[in-house]
């Protein structure tokens, strides 16, 4: 089999794969055929289902669950705290053992609140929300207008709101870029990332940094495709940028 081992524990698998993933790539086709019954299974080959079930990442032990939740923590299955993507990843990791989800952690909505309040950004966000609600009101009223003159006036007002909304969004983005992490939040992110490095025995562990919106794909709002994804981010300082 791999490195002459018939049985591999989790540490073995991740240690070998981190150095050279090619044995797993070579085995994937063979094991897949065995799992489908096309090739006769032998005692020297790990069955596909067994490999899938046992190839589980280590569990993180998060110290402060107000701000950080591990994907292995059952409390991570809460879209109000961890958003749609975070919740769904946690569900797959915890409840569907044949779906391989690497260990990771979610920065919670409590962290977001702490961050924007620490940097006094909330008034800007509330102003944007007010403008957005006004835009929705104008749009609904516009649908009722049949007189062309009245429609033109409403469309002009809505266009002015469009500009205000875009500018306010840009202002918030700039404020966030210039903001500083509260000490307790930064410490928790550093600790969670450090534990990933320890568990996988890899310094500057490459990770994906993704958004997980609490209101994504709701009846009244959608953030799909609006947030950036950063892949192969290495080092906690890069994660915190």
**CA 220, 226, 227, 232: dihedral to nearest 10 degrees?**
130
pLDDT tens column, 157-169: 888 899 999 999 9
Alpha helices in 36-147 (DSSP H): 48-54, 79-95, 109-118, 122-144
- Model confidence band, residue 224 (pLDDT cutoffs 50, 70, 90): confident
pLDDT tier, 9 (very low <50, low <70, confident <90, very high otherwise): low
Answer yes or no: are the C-beta atoms of 85 and 39 closer than 8 Å: no
Angle, vertex CA 120, rays to CA 184 and CA 70, nearest 5:
35
Mean pLDDT for 72-96 is 93
Q: Inform me whether the pLDDT recorded for 146 exceeds 70.
A: no
**pLDDT tens digits for range 13-69:** 555 554 555 555 555 444 443 333 333 444 444 444 444 434 444 455 555 678 999
Query: Which of 1-10, 41-50, 167-176 has the lowest average pLDDT?
Result: 41-50
Mean pLDDT of the residues in the chain = 78
Q: What is the rounded CA–CA span in Å between residue 73 and residue 61?
A: 9
């Amino acid at each position: 089999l791999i490195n002459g081992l018939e049985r591999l524990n989790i540490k073995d698998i991740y240690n070998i794969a981190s150095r050279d993933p090619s044995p797993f790539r070579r085995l994937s086709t063979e094991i897949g055929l065995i799992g489908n019954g096309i090739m006769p299974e032998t005692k020297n080959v790990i069955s596909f289902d067994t490999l899938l079930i046992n190839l589980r990442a280590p569990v993180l032990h998060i110290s402060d669950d107000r701000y950080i939740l591990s994907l292995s923590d059952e409390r991570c299955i809460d879209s109000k705290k961890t958003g749609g993507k975070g919740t769904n990843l946690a569900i797959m990791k915890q409840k569907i053992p044949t779906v391989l989800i690497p260990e990771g952690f979610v920065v919670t909505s409590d962290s977001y609140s702490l961050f924007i309040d620490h940097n006094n950004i909330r008034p800007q966000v509330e102003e944007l929300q007010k403008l957005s609600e006004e835009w929705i009101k104008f749009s609904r009223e516009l649908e009722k207008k049949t007189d062309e003159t009245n429609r033109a006036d409403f469309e002009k007002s809505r266009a002015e709101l469009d500009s205000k909304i875009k500018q306010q969004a840009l202002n918030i983005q700039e404020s966030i870029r210039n903001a500083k992490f509260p000490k307790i939040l930064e410490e928790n992110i550093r600790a969670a990332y450090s534990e990933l490095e320890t568990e996988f025995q890899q310094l500057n562990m490459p990770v994906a940094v993704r958004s997980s919106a609490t209101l994504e794909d709701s009846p009244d709002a959608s953030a799909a495709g609006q947030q950036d994804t950063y892949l192969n981010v290495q080092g906690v300082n890069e994660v915190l940028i």
